[in-house]
Structure 1
Amino acid sequence: MATIIINGTEYTLPEGERLNAIQAAQRFGVEIPYYCWHPALSVVANCRMCEIQVGSKDPKTGEIKMIPKMVPGCQTPAKDGTVIVTDSPEVRSHQAMIMEYLLINHPLDCPVCDQAGQCGLQDYSYRHGQAIHRFVEERTVNPRKDVSDQIQLNMDRCIMCTRCVRFCREITRTNELQVERRGNHAEITIFPDRPLDNPMAGNVVDLCPVGALLDKDFLHKQRYWFNDQHSSVCTRCSTGCNIVAEENRGQIWRLRARYNPKVNDYWICDEGRSSYKSANDANLLPAMYLREGGQPREAPVDRALDTARTRLKEIARQGGTIAAVISPFLTVEEAYLLASYIKGLSGEAVLALGPVPVVGEDQTFAPDQRQGRTGDTSFVVPRPFTIRAEKCPNRNGVERILKHFQGEVIPIDRLRERAASTPFDALYITGGGHEPAYEGQEWTKLRDGAKFLVVQDVWPTDLAGTADVILSSATFAEKAGCYVNATGRLQYASAALPPRDGSLPDLDILAILAERPGGGPISSRDVLSELAGQVPAFAAVRSLDGPFPEFGLPLDGSEEPTPGMFRYVDPWHAPRGRVSLAT
């Protein structure tokens, strides 16, 4: 194990960790300010904000020898005997000088800047800057420009950290951004006729520490500090990227990447980033419905649920055939409750996997694995990022549930064929995806293949319009539960929104239908514990004790279930408290 000295105090680094001075200081709660460094990008050391005093301690004599000049912490490996000084008058004076330099041309537009509240310039100017601005010459003014249809660049605010340029060169390897000219004329720009439109382009907005790159979807719409931050999982494809959903006043305003070294590192794709819009859609089902007089009519929640429960029980008691379609957009807890409920009605009931949307082919971005300037490959994240063609979050988990309850996975197409030849007495269909799944005549034919039809969905689809009972359920943002991604990792997503008026979370709907003790609401953790004891494929969950593992749990048992690990996060992007407005 390596022993290092930070500001006169000795610390021991865990065995095998290869860190630079910034990372080592963060681990022990000591701040070294920085802008250009990022753990997933190569080291360029061009902002000079992280310069510190560094030396070494002789293991035999104990003598400490310091390097005469300050050096960048991002380029300095923390190894046995390394001495780091971050709080000396010389270091503080240097930080104030660098902040003054970075702010020479920066406009004082914090009140109208979308980055306010999570801005590295704001935070470090307060902590490490100086109150007097000595620069009186005319400032360099650059017009704002669009680098793509979704991203705006304000060069006035740019501090030339080049994080965005390195991301496009090293992570996506699409090379749309470049540094043009030199000195105070330098600016970030795109190559001619090559807009920043790669499928992961939105990550440059998250990477930018100052608000030079802005997402037009979020621009001037909401203040960061008004938003509640909710840890969730992206449900736009089967990769299962970890995200932060920002919510205020019953609406999702944006999704941002949340660090998970086992799944998505620091990134999400643009398709997932924009998927929050489906949770805010004005066309979502506003209520429960019952078919009366040949037309669906709005009904109270309790009446709709009571009708569905009574009719299904009656059909089962008379020996009727029952089938259920379990959507791959349901959580594993919801899929388990639905499967156990339907099988509890009739042991001969048929369970089918709902539509699995597939668009194109998997798209993988293999990062550049060239070594950083320190010669240490740990400064670059080597794992590829894959945008899956399978556009649902939980096919893997639902299939495990289906195999447990009936020994095989029946695709919905097979169920449709059977319904066309031998109609079911009752059919229970679930949806809940980002787009309506049951649109068109080919789906309304299922109505002919069922004497009693229940549709549980968030969209008013063609099929729902023919149903006897329509149960308005929750979008991905309105419910909590777990999903199993394409690699078999079970991950927990928290709810970011309350249920819409006239709807209920799927878990509560199913708990009421099944007449579980207490009815609803019901805890997803309680159902997950029950599921782990009943379904062998989820046996790894039984070893959980305490909080759900922050980075998920592989169901093959290849990892110990730990609640989390130390992670390196930009200090200005750390979650902040929400300020509530009195209304």
Structure 2
Amino acid sequence: MATILINGTEYTLPEGERLNAIQAAQRFGVEIPYYCWHPALSVVANCRMCEIQVGSKDPKTGEIKMIPKMVPGCQTPAKDGTVIVTESPEVKAHQSMIMEYLLINHPLDCPVCDQAGQCGLQDYSFKHGQSVHRFVEERTVNPRKDVSEQIQLNMDRCIMCTRCVRFAREITGTNELQVERRGNHAEINIFPDRPLDNPMAGNVVDLCPVGALLDKDFLHKQRYWFNDQHHSVCTRCSTGCNVTVEENRGQIWRYRARYNPKVNDYWICDEGRYSYKSANDPILLHAMYLREGDRPAMTPVDRALDAARTRLKEVARQGGRIAAVVSPSLTVEEAYLLASFIKGLSGSAVLAMGPVPVVGEDVTFSPDPRKGRTGDTSFVVPRPFTIHAEKVPNRLGVERILVHFQGEVIPFDRFRLQAASQPFDALYVTGGGHDPVFEGPEMTKLRDAAKFLVVQDVWPTDLAGTADVILSSSTFAEKAGCYVNADGRLQYASASLPPRDGSLPDLDILAILSERAGGGPISSRDVLRELSGQVPGFSAASELNGTFPEFGLPLDGQEQPSPGMSRYVDPWHAPRGKVTLAR
């Protein structure tokens, strides 16, 4: 156990935990301001904002000896006997001086800057800056430039923290960014004909503590403080990155990476970052439909649900063959309700896995822990980050449900061959992914494989156009529930948007069809609690009492500690606005 002294108060650190002064102080609610340091990047100590007074306490005599000059907190290990002073007049004067220096060339354009409201320069200028600007000489002015098709660099606002440069060197290893020239003329730039276009490039915007690097997808579209913040999970692939979803007026405006040391650390790939757009697509289904003659006709929600339930029950009563295609984009709770409903109609009903799109191969970024690091000052061991080729969020979770209900998983291609040779009397098909999968003539052949077809989806696909009943369900952003990622970790995603007009959340649709007590709406927590007592592999979820662990729940094996990664949340990655959690 290590005992440290912060501003005259003793604190005890857990055995074996390696922290620097910034992390140790933050652990006990004491803030040390900083810009250039980041818990997953090398330590360069070039902003000097975190400089503090440091000393040591003799364990025998209790005598305190202070270092005669201030030192950067990011480079100072917190070990037994360390003395840290962050509130002395000398430290405060130094912070004020550093803020004045950083603002010498910085334009006072906060009203038009997209970073306003979540800007470290704004926050620390208010807390530690001066009210009078003494610099009267001509400021250095740099033109705006594009470092990629998606990212704009405003060098006027840059404070040369070099977080973006270190990210491209140490995390992705692509090395697109560099520091040109020196002193007052130093600036960040790309190499000629080599834009910042690696698959994780958007993270430099999240990393930037000021408004220098801006995402043109979000630029001048929305004010940060107008957006509600929702904790969710990216459903673009099976990695299951944790994200903060920013929503306002029924529309998602952007995704930002949310810290999870067990899954994605501080990062998210660009494919996932911009995948939110499909939730705003104007062509999404906005009504339920019943087939009248040769074409589907818009119908009230209750009539569509009643028609589907009545016909499915009639087929089951007559001993007809029933099947369902369970989409790997459904949550665990939705897959459980669907399987329960279909098997409740007929014990011989067939449950098949929906299409699992795979694009290319897995791409893994494996940072070199030695790259750019000197000695033992990094305090962190970066972990690999994988962008999975499997473009659905919950294949493993759905497989567990299918195995529980019928003992095997029937792949979609095998099911299509089976349905072509032995048509079903009723078929229930679910979709709801980022991309419409039931498109094209091969998919519409499922229509010939069933006398009665129900399609529950968010897209007006070719198959939906042939269905007897079309149930407009919820997108990934309109529902709350759990997904099992590629590592077998159960993670909860909250809803970010209300249901579209004319649609219902999948859980509510299935609860109404199943005629469960109350008839809907239904809570994902209640369903998870129910299935955890029945489906093997989910038993650990029953101990959560309707809550969800901060970093997800491992379904197989024992929890493994993250190597060298403390539970330190970089404040620029933490949501500062109102956080809205769905039911």
| TM-score, structure 2 as length reference | 0.97
Letter of the 1:359 partner, please give it: V
> Residue 480 of structure 1 corresponds to which residue in structure 2?
480
* Pairs within 5 Å for 1:212-231: 212-231=212-231
2:352 is the counterpart of 1:352? yes
Shift of 1:573: 4.3
CA contact (8 A) 2:152 2:216 kept: yes
CA contact (8 A) 2:430 2:455 kept: yes
CA distance in 1 between counterparts of 2:247 and 2:38 reads 27
> Residue 12 of structure 1 corresponds to which residue in structure 2?
12
> Residue 192 of structure 2 corresponds to which residue in structure 1?
192
Q: Match of 1:78, SS?
A: coil
Range with bigger deviation, 411-420 or 26-35 = 411-420
Shift of 1:372: 6.7
> Residue 129 of structure 1 corresponds to which residue in structure 2?
129
Encode CA deviations 1:106-161: one digit per residue, 9 max, x unaligned.
00100000000000000000000000100000000000000001000000000000
CA contact (8 A) 2:258 2:574 kept: no
> Residue 86 of structure 1 corresponds to which residue in structure 2?
86
Encode CA deviations 1:177-225: one digit per residue, 9 max, x unaligned.
0000000100000001100000000000000000100001100000011
Shift of 1:545: 3.5
CA contact (8 A) 1:226 1:578 kept: no
> Residue 108 of structure 1 corresponds to which residue in structure 2?
108
- Point out where structure 2 has 5 or more consecutive residues left out of the alignment: none
Flag the 1:389–1:573 CA change in 2: closer, same or farther, 3 A: closer
Shift of 1:383: 1.2
2:269 is the counterpart of 1:269? yes
CA contact (8 A) 1:371 1:380 kept: no
Q: Match of 1:452, SS?
A: strand
Encode CA deviations 1:211-269: one digit per residue, 9 max, x unaligned.
10000110000001111000000000000000000000100000000000000000000
Shift of 1:378: 5.5
CA distance in 2 between counterparts of 1:504 and 1:168 reads 43
> Residue 567 of structure 1 corresponds to which residue in structure 2?
567
Letter of the 2:463 partner, please give it: L
Letter of the 1:316 partner, please give it: A
Shift of 1:379: 2.7
CA distance in 2 between counterparts of 1:522 and 1:222 reads 33
- Point out where structure 1 has 5 or more consecutive residues left out of the alignment: none
Shift of 1:470: 0.3
Q: Match of 2:54, SS?
A: strand
CA distance in 2 between counterparts of 1:33 and 1:179 reads 24
Shift of 1:541: 1.1
> Residue 548 of structure 2 corresponds to which residue in structure 1?
548
Shift of 1:97: 0.3
> Residue 281 of structure 1 corresponds to which residue in structure 2?
281
> Residue 338 of structure 1 corresponds to which residue in structure 2?
338
Letter of the 1:199 partner, please give it: P
> Residue 455 of structure 2 corresponds to which residue in structure 1?
455
CA contact (8 A) 2:105 2:140 kept: yes
CA distance in 2 between counterparts of 1:10 and 1:373 reads 31
Encode CA deviations 1:274-325: one digit per residue, 9 max, x unaligned.
0000000001001100001221000100000000000000000000000000
> Residue 307 of structure 2 corresponds to which residue in structure 1?
307
Q: Match of 1:471, SS?
A: strand
CA distance in 2 between counterparts of 1:236 and 1:252 reads 15
CA contact (8 A) 2:96 2:129 kept: yes
> Residue 23 of structure 1 corresponds to which residue in structure 2?
23
Q: What number of residue pairs does the alignment pair up? A: 577
> Residue 49 of structure 1 corresponds to which residue in structure 2?
49
CA distance in 1 between counterparts of 2:93 and 2:114 reads 30
CA distance in 2 between counterparts of 1:372 and 1:7 reads 32
* Pairs within 5 Å for 1:189-268: 189-268=189-268
CA contact (8 A) 2:529 2:546 kept: no
Letter of the 1:90 partner, please give it: E
CA distance in 2 between counterparts of 1:293 and 1:140 reads 72
> Residue 119 of structure 1 corresponds to which residue in structure 2?
119
> Residue 178 of structure 1 corresponds to which residue in structure 2?
178
CA distance in 1 between counterparts of 2:507 and 2:258 reads 25
Q: Match of 2:398, SS?
A: helix
Letter of the 2:414 partner, please give it: R
CA distance in 1 between counterparts of 2:553 and 2:579 reads 34
CA distance in 1 between counterparts of 2:396 and 2:560 reads 21
Flag the 1:470–1:30 CA change in 2: closer, same or farther, 3 A: same
Q: Match of 1:492, SS?
A: strand
CA contact (8 A) 2:230 2:579 kept: no
> Residue 512 of structure 1 corresponds to which residue in structure 2?
512
CA contact (8 A) 1:41 1:379 kept: no
Q: Match of 1:296, SS?
A: strand
CA contact (8 A) 1:118 1:573 kept: no
CA contact (8 A) 2:42 2:378 kept: no
CA contact (8 A) 2:529 2:545 kept: no
CA distance in 2 between counterparts of 1:377 and 1:548 reads 34
Letter of the 1:83 partner, please give it: V
The share of aligned pairs that are identical, in percent, is: 87
CA contact (8 A) 1:114 1:220 kept: yes
CA distance in 1 between counterparts of 2:93 and 2:479 reads 50
Q: Match of 1:541, SS?
A: helix
* Pairs within 5 Å for 1:366-405: 366-370=366-370, 375-376=375-376, 379-405=379-405
CA distance in 2 between counterparts of 1:334 and 1:216 reads 36
Flag the 1:546–1:301 CA change in 2: closer, same or farther, 3 A: closer
Letter of the 2:216 partner, please give it: K
CA contact (8 A) 1:403 1:409 kept: yes
CA distance in 2 between counterparts of 1:6 and 1:19 reads 14
Letter of the 1:87 partner, please give it: E
> Residue 320 of structure 1 corresponds to which residue in structure 2?
320
Range with bigger deviation, 251-260 or 544-553 = 544-553
Encode CA deviations 1:323-379: one digit per residue, 9 max, x unaligned.
000000000000000001000000000000000010000000001211775622763
CA distance in 1 between counterparts of 2:151 and 2:338 reads 42
CA distance in 2 between counterparts of 1:242 and 1:260 reads 7
Q: Match of 2:253, SS?
A: strand
2:456 is the counterpart of 1:493? no
Flag the 1:118–1:437 CA change in 2: closer, same or farther, 3 A: same
CA distance in 2 between counterparts of 1:262 and 1:165 reads 25
CA distance in 2 between counterparts of 1:100 and 1:67 reads 25
Letter of the 1:293 partner, please give it: G
Flag the 1:151–1:372 CA change in 2: closer, same or farther, 3 A: closer
CA distance in 2 between counterparts of 1:467 and 1:402 reads 24
Letter of the 1:407 partner, please give it: G
> Residue 144 of structure 1 corresponds to which residue in structure 2?
144
CA distance in 1 between counterparts of 2:573 and 2:332 reads 31
CA distance in 1 between counterparts of 2:212 and 2:32 reads 23
CA contact (8 A) 2:258 2:573 kept: no
CA distance in 2 between counterparts of 1:270 and 1:191 reads 21
Encode CA deviations 1:413-448: one digit per residue, 9 max, x unaligned.
111111111110000000001111000000111101
CA contact (8 A) 2:36 2:162 kept: yes
Range with bigger deviation, 365-374 or 234-243 = 365-374
Encode CA deviations 1:379-419: one digit per residue, 9 max, x unaligned.
33321000000000000000011111111100111111111
CA distance in 2 between counterparts of 1:223 and 1:379 reads 35
Q: Match of 1:537, SS?
A: coil
CA distance in 2 between counterparts of 1:373 and 1:439 reads 50
CA distance in 2 between counterparts of 1:11 and 1:73 reads 17
CA distance in 2 between counterparts of 1:472 and 1:368 reads 47
Shift of 1:556: 1.3
CA contact (8 A) 1:100 1:133 kept: yes
CA contact (8 A) 1:290 1:304 kept: yes
> Residue 97 of structure 2 corresponds to which residue in structure 1?
97
Letter of the 1:568 partner, please give it: Y
CA distance in 1 between counterparts of 2:527 and 2:381 reads 36
> Residue 420 of structure 2 corresponds to which residue in structure 1?
420
CA distance in 2 between counterparts of 1:357 and 1:315 reads 32
CA contact (8 A) 2:228 2:578 kept: yes
Shift of 1:536: 1.1
